[in-house]
Structure 1
Amino acid sequence: MSPRDNTWLRLARFFVGDRTGKIIMQFLGRKKKVTLNQQNELYGHCLQFYCQPPLENISLNEFEGFAVDRLKLLKTVENLGVSYVKTSEEYKTKLHTEFSNLGFPHKVGADESSSNKNQAGSTEYEKRRKDHISHFILRLAYCQTEDLRRWFIQQEMDLFRYRFSELKSQYKTDFLHKNNLKYDTISDEEKTNLKDQLINSSFSVSGTTVAEQDFYKVPFQDALDLVRTRKVFLKAGYAYIPHQDIVTIVLNDFRTRLSKALALTARSLPAVQSDERLQPLLNHLSHAYVGQDYSIQKNVGKVSLEQIDQLSAKSFPLCMRQLHKALRENHHLRHGGRMQYGLFLKGIGLTLDQALQFWRSEFVKGKVDTDKFDKAYAYSIRHMFGKEGKRTDYTPYSCMKVILSNPPSQGDYHGCPFRHSDPELLKQKLQSYKLSPGGIVQILDLVKGMHYQLACQKYFELTHNIDDAGFSLNHPNQYFIESQKFLGGGKEVKKEAEIPQKGQENTASNVPSVPPSRQRTTTQAVDDMGDLDSYFLDE
């Protein structure tokens, strides 16, 4: 690694300007203003190893927008990588669509830069800039734990593999040379002389295709994975690699660089954490949910208390089904379970009065009398609905928050069953719900690969007897809504006829909508959720 590779890791200050709303990135030894030539050099190719950090100022809105878009892209890469063969045309088509929708560089030449006068060149430059900056932002957010680093590396590798494989031969060679990987293609004459050896030693190479393919001459120590599996021809200390396999060599290099960079970045986190405004934003990104906001209760009053038992069996995700079962059996949930389940019920349509009645009736069946409930628990429920404290419309937990929040301890039932349950216990639970043996194996395989949201999506498909859910699962309330749509023939849950409840006119459904200019920022939302945490008791 060159000294330039470590520039990002030698972070000195990373702060938010008070008035200008700009995030200023300053690095040791990097005080000169970035010139146009430097920018053109940085974004001279559509693909990067991300060795050199961003060298410019960006606005706070751009900072967050870039990060969220890249996170959406990586989530798509993860979902498609499990659902489709990564070399299939369907995989490539769907990923190409996501690139276009989110504005990242894809299938372009290496000769375009911001100096181009035409609009296409300018647009391509902006895409490369977004790709570069967004990678480094998420590198900061995902360096904090081993699980986050592992997930980030895997998705970035899959993303890199796809983009490199889509490059034309000329641009692959340009990329290798630009990154000091001096792997040159062999001449037609050498290819002819080694034709038989190349055919016999290389997978998917035949007599008719060997002449059409490029072969790279690589020092054998750089191609140990291919040598180990006997997929290449060796001669005089060099491996002769067909063009479709050179990506293996490049990916190993990319993974090594990124893994070291994340480990070193983690050591530099105190420099970032010293800014109390930036750290919540980075924490949010690592737990980020980028879908619909279920804090806006469009379904208020559509669910009656009598429906909950039935709905839990057919339309609750496994995490909420588990919490509901524990509440009915124990007549109590601890702090983490009350927060996770309470906000979910709010999101599916329970009113404040319904929520108070639901929790009171259940707790009274246990060891809590009515007076104690009203004194110790009712306030926190009203607070959850925005009727106490800051009067904030709190958001139901997303899958990422459930998965990455504090794991459950003895006596807890919150968390994600696919993430936090022992595999054997999870298997028994799935068997008790009458899932097929083959389906259980599929779920456990996804869990083993740490694809917890995809495991939950497979659970949805098995319990609803469908082959393809048709959506990417990111939120427990999304699971409920999609289930109700499916079971209702495309319609959401119908409102039950019930007597109007006193005080219902004061629920969150009647709170005026907030103009976009005054909506909560990401950091504020994180702070508000922390504030809600403090109102729940641990007993």
Structure 2
Amino acid sequence: MSYFYLKPAKGDMPIHLLEEIILKRLEYLKVLSRGDSPFYNEYVIEGSVHDNVGHFVLCILSALAKSTEFTQFFLNAEVMLFRQRIFSLSAYDLRCFAKKLLHSIRKLDSVSVTEPLLTLCTCLSLKSIASHICCPSHDDDCAYYNIKVYFTHCLSFVAQRQVEVCKGIATIPCGKWKKYLVSLFKSSLLLRISQSKQYLYEKDPRMIEILLIVKKIFRIEKGSDMKILRSKEVDKSVQYFPPCMLNLHQHLRKTHRLSHDQRFYYSLFLKDIGMPVEEAIEFWKAEYCQVPTGRHKCTHHWEKDEKKFIYGIKHMYGLEGGRKQYSSLNCTRIQNMETCQEGGCPFKSFDNENMFQTLQLQKYSEPLLSQIFNFKEKKLYTSACLLSLQYHTKTEINCDNMTINFSPVKYFTLAYEN
């Protein structure tokens, strides 16, 4: 399978693996676009099925996101990745790449990019030419070998006057063949994005779920810049909070304290839904400057522990210590935690009476309540949570497709956008 990506891979793949492939590829592309040294990534191995799937799904997401900024990032990063791969090939690897590409081209219907690609790969598949191209002394000015293509197939080269044109035919010297391959890849990628059949995926819950994650990562919002969550706006935003985070927020406002782990998890949730580090410091300062109420065991106070608090908050944002990027927990991990002082997932950790009071289920209809209690008894806690979300947003949600790797952040994003 060639990493020119002329043809998508076939087969079935679990949604959680697809999500992992996309996130890891985006992480790799972000590192590459910053000019940093790329790290090993098992999902970006050249020519692998995971590499192919990640590329094609991101093409679809780029079309669905309708964000010029994201599309430009994706385009530039993928071109950089392809350039890096091509310019690092040995003569043998270049021949293998060309042969695989020729095999793929011959199975496709004729499109504009394949004709010059066919010409170029036919030459590169020859041992003598590949050895010449990959010779250390080979430079951009070399014209020992040439290919001829219609000038419309190399307009960027014509515009920069890098090739000779005679009667509509451009002559491209071998010194520029690798650059020409990169140019053809970019043209092919632009065509692939523009021809993505968006209508097939706009209502696909799997694509919608992954698109929400990508939007969060790149702060793509509807017709506006990133939604920044201010510390003073949290109380207005709790209407979009999932039950587990709403419960932590209510407990914090009531006692002005949370246990260490729950404070950590709630902080990560606030971070991932748009709270900047400066606002996070203000938010926790406002609570921990107050005297705790009730029987809370926490003895920390902002006045005496300010440096410790600020360091901990910055550490969560990757600004201190090992500078690790922490992410908030998904529903499965929350449900598997031992019951804490503040409670974990209300659908799992609370009895029916407390769950009823905490979630204000008196507003729900009898059939919906019956479904929620039924899911709770069957230990389908995420499905119960999704029913709650469906009630609040008045939007049909396919619970079967959303339960895998669901998280409080996904709940918030769906609630906020609907």
Task: Give the TM interval when normalised to the shorter protein.
Answer: 0.3 to 0.5
**So what's the TM-score if we normalise by structure 1?**
0.34
More helix by share: 2
**So what's the TM-score if we normalise by structure 2?**
0.43
